[in-house]
Structure 1
Amino acid sequence: MNPPKEFDVIVVKDVRIPSSSPAVSLAADIYMPLVTKPCPAVVTMHSVRKDAMAGMGVRRFLRYFAKRGYASLLVDTRGTGSSDGEAVPLLSPSEGEDGAAVVEWIADQSWCDGAVGMWGSSHGGMLTLATASLRPPSLKAVVAMLAATDIERDLIHPAHQRGGIGYFGRFALLDIIFSMMPALRAGDDVDGQRWKARASGFTPLVLDAWRNKAGAPVWRERAVDIGRIEVPTFCVAGWRDVYCDNMIQAYEELSVPKKLLAGPWLHTFVDASPREPVSTAELTCDWWDRWLRDAETDNSADHDEMIYLEGTRPGWYTPRAWPPPDSLVRSYAVMGVDELAPVDERGATGEDEAIAAHQNDSTVGALTGLWTTPTAVFGYPLDQTDDDRRSMAFTSDALAEDLIITGRPVLRLVCGEDTTAVRCVAKLTDVDEAGRSRAIAVGVAGLTPGTRDEVTVTMNSTCYRVARRHRLRLVLADNDFPRLWPVNGPSCLAVASANRLSGAKGHWSRLELPILEESTLRPVAVPRPAKSTGGTSRVKLPAPVWVTSRDHVSGGAAVRIDTTEGAPYESGGEHLLIIDRTMRATVSDRNATSTEIKGSGRASVRTESGDDVIVEARVTVEDDQLRAEGLVEVNGIRVITRHWTA
């Protein structure tokens, strides 16, 4: 096959685009291929600024798409960067409306042939799906990477439980930093008036999340209706990403031409992942070629699903479809106080003569990993044996053969009448021959204390091979710190389990696993990045720090995460934008009301105009209060200080 033709590229900075509101214009950088006739266009929109983190992260994609003949745009969302207006919470209706306005503006330009695609990662992916659900006429195809469609369920208040470090740590710091940071490029805000007005008057989005508790009606207004999407959609999911199950569910609900790439990634750009990097730029461009151009393309070697099998003997495969139609459900009985036993094909049931009970431990959860924080390149599950000991754990005998779990494990939980817990966190783990326990999937469900109704706890999607001689473990608790805010006061989780398996019908808890035969999976090759594609740095940055610790005197536990990121904010530029962040979450098993999450961030940069700028942000979240602070220094002089309390 002949290599695709490549074009020279010019960059046009800070182009003004009308939004869905007459008084608000949005700012865009356009990477324009030097072509002789109108061409298709692709656009991504993001809140972390084209002159900062967004530009640093995606400019290699913008240039790649432009070289392949696509006008490629990066747009600041309203109230961020060089765009006008006030920032709105993630997935507010106006975000999708702005996306639709941008798409139609692009299609109407003389350099565009009328075909527009939209793409994005994280918030950019959310905006892509939200825009597609509004059906702008000129939008022809989309690509959503590691994105959410329900921001309450998957980030702010996971599974509709009060959230912890994910949103109220990393995101809160970045929002304050980039909202208060002046323009870094000389032409983006010449007199500084936009920056001064915004930094002096904005309200951090974390306050909106604090005030709108789990289950508040406003969250339903900020969810994407996937069923309304009518254009071909390419979904990219990471098995260890905070939005993993959201992306998989979105793919399953689509009734349009679609494609799925699911790999072992945390919340990062897939092409820069330390594990199994894949050239998503190449796959995305192939998607644009297929749906945005008039010319016929050869899709004979294309695969609708490319899935990475985690666990023992990992690798890339393509199933016959997703969810795999070949899956068989294998049931395991929750037995006695610590056993997990397979139910044979004759459908034997259990007698509910056993009740296993466990008192809550607020410190449980940190060893499952940082997939919900989220971090980009570290935070995969640790050995969580210590957490298992502090929870209710049911373990199987050693497996006689490999077991490939593909889909969503489901726990049919029957609680004993002594249950006072208001939720159940269920984790499926892989216990190796050395006794180490690593999380495969996690699910959460609310409980009604004192009842024996069956509750379904659905875990996140997975594709994972458990090796022969390993064991399965079901771990139950009512806490998952620091992902969820701990439950106050003592509580008990009592589980109805089978005393023995027999032909008698019983009311007992059981685990259902979707199992796939390896013969139904075909190996598939994925395109690899030609070289490292992450941002380059001209200074040696400190290594990240991730510490989990216990105070055996106070009964407390703590998680500390330190990260430093740095890269030129302009392609080929001289000056680095360096962002340091520290997050610390502490909890006591003896007094959950003392739980605290503290985050601090510091961005330092020299602007194109020659100013040395420092922006600092701090957030403290306690059981009943949130405090935040932001400040800006220019050339060593503090020019803005803001404080917020909720």
Structure 2
Amino acid sequence: MAAALMAGGMAVAGGPVPATAPVLAGPQFGHYSPAAQFDGIISASQYVTMRDGVQLAVRIDRPSQGGKLVEGRFPVIWHHSLSISQAAADGAGDRVSDYRRVQELVRHGYVVVQVARRGNGQSFGAMRGYHDRNETQDAFEMVEWLSTQPWSDGKVGMYGCSNTGDAAMQSLTVRPPALKAVWAGCFSWHKFDAFRRGGIFAQWGTGPSRTLEQDMAVAPVDGDGDKRLLAVAAQQHRNSTNLFEMWKSLPYRDSWSPQVFSRFWGEGSIASYASQMRLSGVPVYIQGGWFDELRDQGLIARMNLPGARILIGPWKHCDNDDFALLQEMQRFFDRHLKGIDTGIDAQAPIHYFTMNAAKGSEWRASQSWPVAGATPTPFHLSAKGQVGAMAATPVKAPWSLSFAANYDVRCPDAGSGSRVQPCHVVGAGPGFAGRPVLSDTEVTGDPLVDVWVAADGSDANVFAYLEDVAPDGTVRVVTEGRIKASLRATSQAPWALPAGVPWMRAYAQDAQPLTPGEAVHLRFAMMPTSWVFQKGHRMQVTITGADHRERLREPAKAPRITILGGADRAAQVILPVVR
């Protein structure tokens, strides 16, 4: 089949989108926009005491009419955040648009609540790790407290994105009876796979961290105008775990942390409690973006939580640009907290945006992931000297291409914070480019990399980027994958993964150091994407030995890496081409 894709150029038949992955009429899937019931919001804040005496700060937004508080019972939506102030440093900060507008749902008959997690914002206590079981137990108690307040009708929903999306998902693992719906964006299914992806510490974030001065700058809880209580809370925060130092000390999935006395990758991951989450039966709506480093985690979570929905747009971390995300959130919560038929149940559980698709056909729907019609299609790598190429047919003659890893790689346009993106850096590593595609070619799914490499050290970090090369030479990174060569051993994953995606257990006992100069087989996944390579553009795979996002290199460095192919050594990228 692969040979048929070549005809003077790299030609992959685009064809119509299958009926099982329909093109949607527009981004507002339900066109659901009910009128507001109330004209105002009244806020109040207080402390709520947890089981161990730690006090959490809570801000409660309730509906008002004509300037007067509306009495009555309403469903509650709450946010397990980093402060009750919705400040730029909370959650994903000012990059988030509609997540910062959820209070507007108060006018539609909800009570919306902000809760500062222990060790953060106005709350007391210290943060032990990141989404540990202390925080999760707090979530259980908070759901039950919210459900019994005189302004609550007993039905509770949660929302969040980034670290607060993770906090919302964590609540499912303890199954609070009053929790009826969760909306979560850009979170991790398993923290090792999210923050040590491929065994490599190359991530833009290491969790919340604030100075004493920053803690004291937040607005205090009502009645603490002199910030006396806030000062005590801020001092207690100094005892929180330094997440960067902890994550540095955990190179394997089963590493033990003496800082928190657990194998924390497991303790802090919702994947460890998948059966409890399924037993909860709580409806879940997941949001992701094709330019977010956690997009694969959301898709994996949906696969392992029957009935969950997912929305993936052309966005960076927690962004939604001009998409009416708050409208979609209301459609979800109105269905599950108010029992309104919003049309959401009749629609496919997966909505995704296809980059570069024809205008008006970008939004697609699917019943499953991988999507119907996506065919794993191998594209073979080869090289003549230092010139790499990619083609539909393999090269039988043995070949090799050696390069020096560039550890001073710079990416000036990569962004900062959670907007950090992978980028093409000229000279960072060899590129394997195909011929121009003869027709628009859609790749939707999880690309795989299958190569043999050798290095002159005991280990090597290997990065692979799928790129789109325009006729004018402009290079755009479509998606990327990475693997620490010593952690290449694959295992059967303890949860569902997309078909064909390999999984590395990455326990300490699985580490296989390299013998300098000896070739090893690497097979790893790139993160999922949905991208149309337009007619005349070229597909390219670039392989490097370093990335500008690396926070730590362990072991030190492998100055030269060699890619090998031909004969019985596979050198290919397998792309999910939609016919």
| TM-score class normalised by the smaller sequence | 0.7 to 0.9
Asked whether 1:103 is paired with 2:147, we answer: no
Deviating above 6 A after TM superposition, structure 1's stretches of 4 or more consecutive aligned residues are 55-59
SS at match of 2:205: helix
Indicate how the Cα distance of structure 1 residues 263 and 452 shifts in structure 2: closer, same or farther if over 3 A, else same: same
1:106 Cα deviation from its structure 2 partner: 1.2
1:178 Cα deviation from its structure 2 partner: 7.1
1:133 Cα deviation from its structure 2 partner: 2.2
Indicate how the Cα distance of structure 1 residues 105 and 149 shifts in structure 2: closer, same or farther if over 3 A, else same: same
1:94 Cα deviation from its structure 2 partner: 1.5
Asked whether 1:140 is paired with 2:186, we answer: no
Structure 2 counterpart of 1:160: 199
Asked whether 1:494 is paired with 2:562, we answer: yes
1:460 Cα deviation from its structure 2 partner: 0.9
Structure 2 counterpart of 1:127: 167
1:12 Cα deviation from its structure 2 partner: 3.4
SS at match of 2:210: helix
Match among 411, 431, 443 for residue 449 of structure 2: 411
Structure 2 counterpart of 1:327: 374
Q: Distance in 2 between matches of 1:471 and 1:235?
A: 33
Which amino acid is the alignment partner of residue 401 of structure 2? A
Match among 354, 358, 380 for residue 309 of structure 1: 354
Contact kept, 8 Å, 1:351 with 1:507, in 2: the verdict is no
Contact kept, 8 Å, 1:427 with 1:476, in 2: the verdict is yes
SS at match of 1:52: coil
Contact kept, 8 Å, 1:352 with 1:507, in 2: the verdict is no
Structure 2 counterpart of 1:446: 484
Structure 2 counterpart of 1:374: 418
Indicate how the Cα distance of structure 1 residues 298 and 409 shifts in structure 2: closer, same or farther if over 3 A, else same: closer
Asked whether 1:289 is paired with 2:334, we answer: yes
Task: Report the TM-score when normalising by structure 1.
Answer: 0.69
Structure 2 counterpart of 1:252: 303
1:405 Cα deviation from its structure 2 partner: 1.0
1:268 Cα deviation from its structure 2 partner: 4.1
Q: Distance in 1 between matches of 2:48 and 2:480?
A: 42
Which amino acid is the alignment partner of residue 222 of structure 1? G
- Alpha-carbon displacement from aligned partner over 1:295-327 (angstroms, at most 9, x marks no partner): 444447744222111136465322333310321
Contact kept, 8 Å, 1:420 with 1:493, in 2: the verdict is no
Structure 2 counterpart of 1:427: 465
Q: Distance in 2 between matches of 1:414 and 1:281?
A: 47
Q: Distance in 1 between matches of 2:331 and 2:221?
A: 36
Unaligned stretches of 5+ in structure 2? 1-31, 65-69, 256-262, 487-513
Structure 2 counterpart of 1:353: 398
Structure 1 counterpart of 2:578: 516
- The one of the two structures with greater contact order (alpha-carbon pairs below 8 A, sep at least 6) is 2
Structure 1 counterpart of 2:54: 24
Which amino acid is the alignment partner of residue 525 of structure 2? T
Q: CA RMSD in A?
A: 2.9
1:420 Cα deviation from its structure 2 partner: 5.2
SS at match of 1:167: coil
Asked whether 1:468 is paired with 2:570, we answer: no
Q: Distance in 1 between matches of 2:329 and 2:105?
A: 9
Q: Distance in 2 between matches of 1:250 and 1:218?
A: 19
Match among 329, 343, 352 for residue 392 of structure 2: 343
Structure 2 counterpart of 1:7: 38
1:282 Cα deviation from its structure 2 partner: 0.8
Contact kept, 8 Å, 1:362 with 1:486, in 2: the verdict is no
Match among 314, 325, 328 for residue 264 of structure 1: 314
Contact kept, 8 Å, 2:455 with 2:558, in 1: the verdict is no
Matches of residues 84-233 of structure 1 in structure 2 within 5 Å?
Answer: 84-155=124-195, 157-163=196-202, 166-167=204-205, 175-176=210-211, 180-185=215-220, 187=222, 189-203=224-238, 207-212=242-247, 213=249, 214-215=251-252, 216=255, 217-225=263-271, 226-229=274-277, 230-233=281-284
Indicate how the Cα distance of structure 1 residues 73 and 326 shifts in structure 2: closer, same or farther if over 3 A, else same: same
Q: Distance in 2 between matches of 1:293 and 1:7?
A: 16
SS at match of 2:150: coil
Q: Distance in 2 between matches of 1:417 and 1:381?
A: 23
Q: Distance in 2 between matches of 1:482 and 1:49?
A: 31
Which amino acid is the alignment partner of residue 200 of structure 2? Q
1:369 Cα deviation from its structure 2 partner: 2.7
- Alpha-carbon displacement from aligned partner over 1:364-397 (angstroms, at most 9, x marks no partner): 36268348x313xxx6666x2xx24230211111
Asked whether 1:47 is paired with 2:82, we answer: yes
Q: Distance in 2 between matches of 1:133 and 1:398?
A: 49
Contact kept, 8 Å, 1:15 with 1:28, in 2: the verdict is yes
Indicate how the Cα distance of structure 1 residues 85 and 249 shifts in structure 2: closer, same or farther if over 3 A, else same: same
Matches of residues 557-636 of structure 1 in structure 2 within 5 Å?
Answer: none
1:28 Cα deviation from its structure 2 partner: 1.3
Indicate how the Cα distance of structure 1 residues 496 and 269 shifts in structure 2: closer, same or farther if over 3 A, else same: closer
Q: Distance in 2 between matches of 1:265 and 1:66?
A: 27
Indicate how the Cα distance of structure 1 residues 204 and 83 shifts in structure 2: closer, same or farther if over 3 A, else same: closer
- Alpha-carbon displacement from aligned partner over 1:3-45 (angstroms, at most 9, x marks no partner): 34522444232133343x3301212111223566422211111
Match among 461, 479, 489 for residue 546 of structure 2: 479
SS at match of 2:372: coil
Structure 2 counterpart of 1:611: none
Contact kept, 8 Å, 2:189 with 2:300, in 1: the verdict is no
Q: Distance in 2 between matches of 1:38 and 1:206?
A: 39
* Identity among equivalent pairs (%): 19
- Alpha-carbon displacement from aligned partner over 1:385-444 (angstroms, at most 9, x marks no partner): xx2423021111111121111111110122247675422111111111011211111111
1:224 Cα deviation from its structure 2 partner: 1.1
Contact kept, 8 Å, 2:354 with 2:532, in 1: the verdict is yes
Q: Which moved more, 1:132-141 or 1:221-230?
A: 221-230
SS at match of 2:45: strand
Structure 1 counterpart of 2:117: 77
Q: Distance in 2 between matches of 1:24 and 1:417?
A: 52
Structure 2 counterpart of 1:550: none
- Alpha-carbon displacement from aligned partner over 1:70-112 (angstroms, at most 9, x marks no partner): 1111111112222222233321121222112111111122322
Which amino acid is the alignment partner of residue 162 of structure 1? F
1:118 Cα deviation from its structure 2 partner: 0.7
Structure 1 counterpart of 2:67: none
1:149 Cα deviation from its structure 2 partner: 3.4
Indicate how the Cα distance of structure 1 residues 303 and 79 shifts in structure 2: closer, same or farther if over 3 A, else same: same
Which amino acid is the alignment partner of residue 454 of structure 1? H
